[in-house]
Copies of this chain bind each other. A is one copy, B any other.
Amino acid sequence: MLEKLKQEVYDANMRLPKLDLVTFTWGNVSGIDREKGLFVIKPSGVDYEDLKPSDMIVVNLKGEVVEGNMNPSSDTPTHTVLYNEFPEIGGIVHTHSPWAVSFAEAGIPVPALGTTHADTFYGDVPVSEALTQAEIENDYEENTGKVIVKTFKEQGVDPEAVPAVLVRQHGPFTWGATPDKAVYNAKVLEVVAEMDYHALQLTRNNSAVPQFLLDKHYYRKHGKNAYYGQNNAQSQGHAKKEVR
């Protein structure tokens, strides 16, 4: 079942090591078939070189395995929460990519300091609160999803306009219209975290970009007036609708 989506999720998982986003098996990508209400995710702890499309696990929106012989990613409950709470997303990525993790460990959002950021993220990439002891001891991965959702609600951030988060003391989750777009966003986050780290070390002054630059660059690549790329509104791994 869902053979095409399994291939797509497999391909997206295999892009993670090629884009230098994972060490060992520390990453996972999932993708959802919204009509069927089922998502496909990487099995837990399998080396990328041993992975096959048929290894992908099918899970329903209650987080129950529907098909597959292996354990799904241990982060499956996090993906389940995000698919339920962010109904417009089609793919999710989790990695331990080092620059994004450094910001998560420091508890600092990845700030919008330039156009590289603004092309993909319409504002700072937020960092969640740390989970409490109770949240960690019981239903840890589900609570990880919940703290992400809470972060976006409390800070008033649109998860389509800023398709990424840092979980405090942990690392990045990104998402997108498709698994492939979620991987694209994971790479952009890593690149801008690297750039921002060095910019922040060069100057402690406030060097955040103004709102009008965010508007210009984000909508140059997104929404009905986009003019970057060959088919604009659909191009470059970004959401199609106007998010404003």
When distances are taken between beta carbons in the complex, the residues of chain B under 8 Å from A213 are 130-131, 136, 169
Contact mask A120-147 → B, CB, 8 Å, 1/0?
0000000000110100110010000000
Asked if A70 is an interface residue, CB under 8 A from chain B, the answer is: yes
Residue contact A197 to B191, C-beta cutoff 8 Å = no
Residue ID in chain B nearest A19 by CB atoms? B23
With A107-B207, A212-B136, A235-B45: A114-B202 Cβ-Cβ less than 8 Å: no
Q: Which of A77-118 contact B (CB under 8 A)?
A: 96, 98-99, 101-108, 113-116
Is A54 in the interface zone, CB < 8 Å from B? no
Contact of A203 among B107, B170, B198 (CB under 8 A): B107
Instruction: Give the size of the chain A interface in residues (CB under 8 angstroms).
Output: 64
- The stretch among A1-9, A156-164, A224-232 that forms the contact with chain B is A224-232
- With beta carbons under 8 angstroms apart, the residue of B25, B130, B202 that contacts A102 is B202
Interface code A170-210, partner B: CB below 8 Å = 1, 0 otherwise? 11000000000000100110010011111111110101011
- A46 at interface (Cβ–Cβ under 8 A)? yes
Verify B140–A116 contact, CB threshold 8 A. no
A218 nearest CB across to chain B (Å): 12
Nearest CB in chain B: distance from A119 CB, A:
8
Instruction: List the interface of chain A (C-beta within 8 A of B).
Output: 23-26, 43-46, 70-71, 74, 96, 98-99, 101-108, 113-116, 130-131, 133, 136-137, 140, 169-171, 184, 187-188, 191, 194-203, 205, 207, 209-210, 212-213, 215-216, 220, 227-230, 235-236
Q: A25-B229, A102-B196 are in contact. List 20 more A-B contacts (CB 8 A).
A: A44-B229, A70-B230, A74-B220, A96-B191, A98-B195, A101-B114, A104-B114, A105-B196, A106-B199, A107-B203, A107-B205, A114-B169, A115-B170, A115-B171, A116-B171, A136-B215, A137-B212, A137-B215, A140-B220, A169-B207
